[in-house]
Chains A and B, each alone.
Chain A
Amino acid sequence: MTSPADLSVVENEAGQALFDDLIAKDSRIEPRDWMPEAYRKTLIRQISQHAHSEIIGMQPESNWITRAPSLKRKAILMAKVQDEAGHGLYLYSAAQTLGITREEMMDQLIEGRARYSSIFNYTTPTWADMGAIGWLVDGAAICNQVPLCRASYGPYGRAMVRICKEESFHQRQGFEILLELMQGTEAQREMAQDAVNRWYWPSLMMFGPPDDQSPNSAQSMAWNIKRFSNDELRQRFVGMLVPQAEVLGVTLPDPALRFNEETGEYDMSEIDWTEFNEVLAGRGPANAERLRRRREAHENGAWVREAAHEYARKQAARAAAEVA
């Protein structure tokens, strides 16, 4: 692979012109196309963070696989967590097309040098959290991710198409868990409402800071990576939740929440960004636990990966010897 630094200034200028033209026409940039170094870096950061989020995001839910209260729920939850591993794989592959290896990305994650979605640093003390994660967290993820199916970088956009199809199922199963609980016993209804209370605000924070405080957004929108602003997506999400909350019979924990006929938007209470920043800074309820668990799985599995590698090497050597 030729690094952009090796190209002459003239080639860089030609590349830039071609790139600008593709972006202007809203076409796709493919791995072999010339791209500005900042575009490449932004994408590596965003796609790998997204992949890490899928992998870390397996933990709060795998917590309940062994204790799922019915065999049907156990099957659905297992399938969902397994999907997340699959999403991680597609996304790592998409990032690899930009010139970074999975090992490098994995090292960045377990050494705490890479970010992942802060939402997964919250804990899942009750079964209702499986419902709230599906309904709220996956719901927010869908609002964020559907526009990414059109992201200008081809491998990312295509990975997102596959992922979004499965996320839709994830959200439905979460909604169904909550609906079943809300139609159940008093204890089950309380469990459901408590989970919604705990996950509502963190799910709104998943869209990122308000537009006037989001430094990277403008460039990402100019590059056709990001299509809607954080606040636009947050509004869209709340608009989706309100009627669904009515069907469920749960209360969204914001007394100020109401539709404003004049603005055509939802009025809502101020989001507590101090909490968001605390969790982002590594001081959330489970930051250390999530990383420790990932590191343990990685370290405990090292001998297995080495064995597979060594076996493949010996097989190749044997095959070569037979040919010779």
Chain B
Amino acid sequence: MSDADIDPHGEVTVDRLALADEFAGAGAAGEGAVASADVAEYALRLGDDALVLAQQLGMWIARAPELEEDVALGNIALDLLGHARSLLHYAGTESGRSEDDLAYWRDEPDWRNAWIFEQPNGDFAHTIARQFFVATYLFELYGDLSSSTDPTLAAIAAKSMKEVDYHRDHATQWVLRLAGGTDESRRRMITAVADTWPYVDELFHDDELVERLASDGVAVLPSSLRERFDEIVDQVLAEAEIELPTGRTAFIASGGGRRGRHTEHLGPLLAEMQVLARQHPGASW
């Protein structure tokens, strides 16, 4: 290759500045569709789950145990951010708010993510335990949601499912490696599974909103995913020779994340994510 083949000026011309197109996110699916209030609330739940997790995984970049994991966790974070942007964009159509209005200008009680997503990264084993449970759940969820009667949700779910399949595979492999690696990694993996497990139950909790939407074939009833989730988790943990803690903690009696009640971890996460945008109200970036 000669120098003439590559433009050292990096192709910077004013009329070619449409980088947003290279990052399908907002508007990737269902351009023009407007969500009803119920659908918007449902999309917000799913979008917040994805965005909070993307934010957490982004913290690993340049801190991962090996370069391959900087790349892998970065990839997963990017996928989740893409899902979040599509879902928040759709959620915002009901009230005329943009994905950034929703991401940067809502306070804690307005966030709808489940608690497991806001639990801190911890050590690598905790990140992997969270990834394993969440990706297994999301894979089943998006699989079913891809036949939603709402075409926008169906399209987003179909795209997301393929990516979440990789996330699940990545996490499963690490659960097995850490459980079957050294004494230390096994001890850490067991602790991480035990610490994360209590947050799993909330993912499968039905409420009036999802029941209403599920009866129209728009949403997936979370409880309907539980059996398949347990089957996969049991299979992987059996191979890893890890036993689940007994008893499923149901401490979401307060309503949990879906009703805007959160653990202590969401506040600092949002403060960091929103700080710059809030210093410059009305600015465009």
Inter-chain CA distance A86–B74, complex, in Å, is 11
> Which residues of chain A from 29 to 59 have any CB-CB distance to chain B below 8 Å in the complex?
55, 58-59
> How many contacting A-B pairs (Cβ < 8 A)?
201
Q: Say which size band chain B's interface belongs to.
A: 35 or more
- Shortest CB-to-CB span from A216 to chain B, Å, is 22
> Which residues of chain A from 172 to 202 have any CB-CB distance to chain B below 8 Å in the complex?
172-173, 175-177, 179-181, 184-185, 187-188
Instruction: List residues of chain A with CB within 8 A of the CB of B1.
Output: 149-150, 161
Instruction: List residues of chain B with CB within 8 A of the CB of A65.
Output: 58-59, 61
Contact A89 B68 (CB under 8 A): yes
Contact A308 B177 (CB under 8 A): yes
- Interface membership of B64, Cβ < 8 A: yes
Known: A71-B103, A176-B19, A188-B280. A311 touches B66 (CB 8 A): no
Instruction: List residues of chain A with CB within 8 A of the CB of B82.
Output: 75
Instruction: List residues of chain A with CB within 8 A of the CB of B12.
Output: 171-172, 175, 244
Instruction: List residues of chain A with CB within 8 A of the CB of B68.
Output: 89
Contact B25 A75 (CB under 8 A): yes
Inter-chain CA distance A139–B71, complex, in Å, is 23
Contact A172 B8 (CB under 8 A): no
Contact of A75 among B23, B69, B176 (CB under 8 A): B23
Contact A310 B181 (CB under 8 A): yes
- Interface membership of A78, Cβ < 8 A: yes
Inter-chain CA distance A127–B279, complex, in Å, is 12
Contact A142 B8 (CB under 8 A): yes
Counting chain B CB atoms within 10 Å of each CB, which of A67, A150, A302 scores highest?
A: A67
Instruction: List residues of chain B with CB within 8 A of the CB of A88.
Output: 67
Instruction: List residues of chain A with CB within 8 A of the CB of B88.
Output: 71
Contact B180 A314 (CB under 8 A): yes
- Interface membership of B6, Cβ < 8 A: yes
Complex interface: stretch among B222-230, B251-259, B270-278: B270-278
Contact A310 B182 (CB under 8 A): yes
Counting chain B CB atoms within 10 Å of each CB, which of A88, A149, A303, A307 scores highest?
A: A307
Inter-chain CA distance A59–B70, complex, in Å, is 12
- Shortest CB-to-CB span from B113 to chain A, Å, is 15
Instruction: List residues of chain B with CB within 8 A of the CB of A78.
Output: 58, 61, 74, 77-78, 81
Contact pattern, A 285-316, Cβ under 8 Å of B = 1, otherwise 0: 00000000100110011111111111100100
> Which residues of chain B from 71 to 102 have any CB-CB distance to chain A below 8 Å in the complex?
71, 74-75, 77-78, 81-82, 84-85, 88, 99-100
Inter-chain CA distance A293–B59, complex, in Å, is 13
Specify the main secondary structure of chain B where it touches its partner: helix
- Interface membership of B231, Cβ < 8 A: no
Contact pattern, A 123-150, Cβ under 8 Å of B = 1, otherwise 0: 0000100000000001100110011011
Inter-chain CA distance A210–B261, complex, in Å, is 61
Q: Say which size band chain A's interface belongs to.
A: 35 or more
Inter-chain CA distance A188–B70, complex, in Å, is 31
Inter-chain CA distance A88–B273, complex, in Å, is 28
Contact B78 A75 (CB under 8 A): yes
> Which residues of chain A from 57 to 114 have any CB-CB distance to chain B below 8 Å in the complex?
58-59, 62, 65-76, 78-79, 81-82, 85-86, 88-89, 92
Known: A78-B61, A305-B65. A69 touches B177 (CB 8 A): no
Chain B residue at minimal CB-CB distance from A301: B65
- Shortest CB-to-CB span from A293 to chain B, Å, is 8
Known: A66-B58, A71-B99, A184-B283. A142 touches B10 (CB 8 A): yes
Contact pattern, B 12-32, Cβ under 8 Å of A = 1, otherwise 0: 101011011011011000000
Chain B residue at minimal CB-CB distance from A167: B10
Contact A55 B58 (CB under 8 A): no
Contact of B177 among A75, A247, A297, A307 (CB under 8 A): A307
Inter-chain CA distance A31–B223, complex, in Å, is 58
Inter-chain CA distance A146–B11, complex, in Å, is 13
Contact of B17 among A167, A176, A300 (CB under 8 A): A176
- Interface membership of B188, Cβ < 8 A: yes
Inter-chain CA distance A146–B2, complex, in Å, is 9
- Interface membership of A168, Cβ < 8 A: yes
Instruction: List residues of chain B with CB within 8 A of the CB of A74.
Output: 58, 81
Instruction: List residues of chain A with CB within 8 A of the CB of B26.
Output: 71-72
- Interface membership of A115, Cβ < 8 A: no
Inter-chain CA distance A100–B11, complex, in Å, is 36
Instruction: List residues of chain A with CB within 8 A of the CB of B16.
Output: 172
12 of the cross-chain contacts (CB-CB < 8 Å) are A58-B62, A66-B55, A66-B272, A76-B19, A81-B74, A142-B8, A146-B8, A150-B2, A172-B12, A175-B17, A236-B8, A303-B188
Chain B residues proximal to chain A, CB less than 8 Å: 1-3, 6-12, 14, 16-17, 19-20, 22-23, 25-26, 51, 55, 58-59, 61-71, 74-75, 77-78, 81-82, 84-85, 88, 99-100, 103-104, 123-124, 176-178, 180-182, 184-185, 188, 272-273, 275-277, 280, 282-285
5 tightest A-B CB contacts, nearest first: A301-B65, A307-B181, A307-B185, A82-B74, A304-B65
Q: A78-B61, A305-B65, A310-B185 are in contact. List 15 more A-B contacts (CB 8 A).
A: A62-B61, A66-B59, A69-B277, A70-B100, A71-B51, A71-B100, A75-B85, A143-B8, A146-B8, A172-B17, A176-B17, A300-B63, A301-B69, A306-B184, A311-B181
